[in-house]
Amino acid sequence: SDNTNINRTQKARAHTNIALIKYWGKADEQLIIPEDNSLSLTLKDFYTDTEVRFDKDLTADEIVFNNHLMNKAESQKMINFLNIVRQKAQQNIFAHVKTQNNIPTAAGLASSASGFAALAAASSKAIGLDLSRKDLSRLARRGSGSATRSIFGGFVEWEKGNNDQTSFAKPIEENVDWDVNLVAVITNRHEKKISSRRGMKISKATSPYYQAFKQVTSRDLITMKKAISNHDFDLMGHTAEENAMKMHALTFSSDPSFTYFNGDTLKAMQLVHELRNEGINCYFTIDAGPNVKVLVQHDNLKKVIRKFKTAFGQSNVVATVPGPGIEYLN
Ligand code: 2P0
């Protein structure tokens, strides 16, 4: 086929996102169609840069992650994703992929969201597809659910849809021009033991509270959208914290039961409660790992940072603000 322009390097940057209304369960595991809509905030300082070049002389994909050449097992999810891209472009040609996580102070906040969003953007463009952001969101979804949302900046909603065509994210407020800050508290830098993929599957199959979670999540989503449109920080923070706890209740109530919390996670949650008792309005949310993210406004930011640095150490506390969607770097 005519692929004269294909042997060129395409670079893209995608930022990670933090879910304020959690995605926890799939209606379709193959296509990654979620059980419920979710809503997230894209973050400025945590991102992945990926470059892709398709090369007809290659006999397999070659993937370098943080300067380390991945073996077949490590790169299988990304190879599966590139197979989808090749199929869409009707090209049978392998790729050089170089991907770098730019997460301050090393691991702990590594994310499949920014990883697959960056890979979707770089690989689709490198192979000659010119996708709209909606179609890019649909493509990123095939790599990892949370990546669906990282195509867009600011506050983003992933509409669950009911098939490959209708399940994609939409921006709610791309340029967040009001006072929202996030402080990430790293309590453990090691990779989680139970992947989100496995954790949500166990929860959906076994937690007696799963249907209740679906009901409250649809209500929380409405409240969250109202909070965002009114720029109501306290309603946003409170709703995010409550929704996170409902998600984590699904892990505790699964069979076998499990949790992403460690002792320091609980300590960080307690510090947020203490700060609120002191009149400092801040709220936590926690993903499928032990690290805690604290939402806070500018006037209280320094106090919150000081409190967590004292408790967890200087290098384990990183502040950021809302960030942009996909960027092509060339
Ligand atoms: C989310 N989290 O909405 C949820 C809430 C964490 C808590 O990690 O199986 O890595 O690749 O679709 O996107 C979502 O898990 O799982 C996730 P897959 P993903 O961000």
- Binding pocket residue ranges, ligand 1, CB within 6 Å: 19, 22-24, 32, 38, 112, 144-146, 196-197, 287-288
Counting residues of the chain whose pLDDT is more than 70, the rounded percentage is 96
Distance CA 102, CA 287 (A): 19
CB of 86 closer than 8 Å to CB of 93: yes
CA-to-CA dists, residue 169 to 39, 265, 289, angstroms: 9, 30, 23
What is the length of the chain?
330
In this predicted structure, the answer to whether residue 58 has a pLDDT above a threshold of 90 is yes
Q: Name the residue of 114, 155, 201, 287 to mutate for ligand 1: max ligand atoms within 8 A of Cβ.
A: 287
* Window from 21-30, 73-82, 190-199, 261-270 with minimum mean pLDDT: 190-199
Between residues 133 and 189, which one has the greater pLDDT? 133
Cα 194 to ligand 1 centre (Å): 12
| Burial track 168-204 (b if 16+ CB lie within 10 A, e otherwise) | bbebbbeebeeebbbbbbbbbeeebebebeebbebbb
Write the residue with the smallest CA distance to atom 11 of ligand 1: 144
Place of tokens 């669906």: 148
Q: Which domains does the chain have, with CATH numbers?
A: 10-175 (3.30.230.10), 181-320 (3.30.70.890)
Q: ipTM score of the complex? A: 0.98
For residue 8, the CA-to-ligand 1 centroid distance in Å is: 32
- Taking the alpha carbons of 299, 281, 106, 198 in that order, is the dihedral positive or negative? negative
Per-residue pLDDT tens over the stretch 246-287: 999 999 999 999 999 999 999 999 999 999 999 999 999 999
Q: What's the gap in Å between 146 CA and the centre of ligand 1?
A: 5
Give the position, in ligand 1's atom list, of the atom nearest the Cα of 38. 3
Q: What is the model's pLDDT at position 191?
A: 65
- The pLDDT score that the predictor gives to residue 192 is 63
Rounded distance from Cα 179 to ligand 1 centre (Å): 26
Give the pairing of strands 292-296 and 181-185: antiparallel
The pLDDT, as a whole number, for residue 7 is: 84
- Among 18, 26, 112, name the best residue to mutate to test ligand 1's pocket (greatest count of ligand atoms within 8 A of Cβ): 112
Mean per-residue pLDDT of the chain: 95
